[in-house]
Amino acid sequence: MGKITVSAPGKLMLLGEHAVVYHHPCLVITVDQRIQTTVEVIDRNEFQLEARDVGISGYKKPISKLGKGHIPKGAKFVEIAVANSIGHPELVSGFRNKFGMTKEMGIRIKTESEFPSQYGFGSSSAVTVCVIKALSELFNLKLSKKEIFNLAYKTVLDIQGKGSGFDIAAAVYGGTLYFLTGGKTIEFLNVSSIPLIVGYSGVKSDTAVLVNKVKKSFSNKKNRLDEIYNSIEVLVNKAKAALIKKDWEMLGDLMNQNQNYLKELGVSTPKLDNMIKAALDSGAHGAKLSGAGGGDCMVAVVSDEKRGKVIGAIQSAGGEIIDIKTGAEGVRIE
């Protein structure tokens, strides 16, 4: 039977949160902490999953029941990714061509992560991409990056009902990306690394809840919401140019402006605000929350000389420093 192991990187949003859900661009970077997924074809008509990082152990169900009935939260993205893949005409054909249909066939999957799921590094998207890439390779289809993106994005929409897909793109393509909602634009930027410090607030947030919160709180102020998102788009486009020039001071200033809009949207928190202020007071070029807000991480752009001081300040404000490098490779076979 066939067996393969693939991995995909985590991600951080640099600029463009929330606006990206509504057809505005964002900048997203990958981090060098990865999720590894082993997918194996087995001779039982069964789906099996071990994902202990998210509390799933010994989970199994018949292949015919994939995507149906109760699905534990930690199993959702993997199971729906498999269901979508097996339902994909080319994958069905590939399955028949490679393994035939005379025996009972099933899928066993094991996932392992180098980072906790609560960090907001996009673990659900990364594992979804891993599963689809692995099935593509096992069935000898060699799906393109865009085809993997499309199938993974469909999976996210099936589960969440909304989402921009930027974290899927990061997991597929790697590096630093300029991204437009739904993958209408996925532009790879030639930026090897960014002098970032990442601080975790200690609070896990829920993206869908926060997106809905913003929508509800601005239901009577739609014009202002549009103004904010249009202004964030201007910042993203300027930050793209700053990244390419490695103008870290300019990037920092644009991040600060983006953070002000995120505060107006109501998605920052006192803890994140304190961590960001501590970074800026200690000499960071710029700092902002990264992701949906409500918790998760903040990021700061810092010169080498100020790095130690800024790290100490974020820790003093109660943040946990996450040691990462940026610009990691996208999904790959291990």
Integer Cα distance of 43 and 103 in angstroms: 7
For 132, the 3-state DSSP assignment is helix
Task: List, in sequence order, every residue forming a beta bridge with 333; answer none if it has no partner.
Answer: 6
Amino acid at 54: V
Please, what sign has the CA dihedral across residues 202, 320, 257, 292? negative
Active site residues: 167
The Cα angle at residue 288 between residues 286 and 290, in degrees rounded to 5? 135
In 10 A of CB 45, how many CB atoms? 12
Residue 99: C-alpha distances to residues 61, 91, 133, 237 (Å): 21, 12, 18, 48
Integer Cα distance of 244 and 242 in angstroms: 6
The Cα angle at residue 26 between residues 291 and 267, in degrees rounded to 5? 30
For 9, the 3-state DSSP assignment is strand
Q: Are 301 and 251 in contact (CB under 8 A)?
A: yes
For 293, the 3-state DSSP assignment is coil
Residue 288: C-alpha distances to residues 16, 17, 110, 219, 295 (Å): 11, 11, 35, 25, 12
Residue 14: both structure tokens together: 């640099």
Residue with tokens 């109660």: 318
Residue 240: both structure tokens together: 């793209």
Amino acid at 49: L
Integer Cα distance of 326 and 323 in angstroms: 10
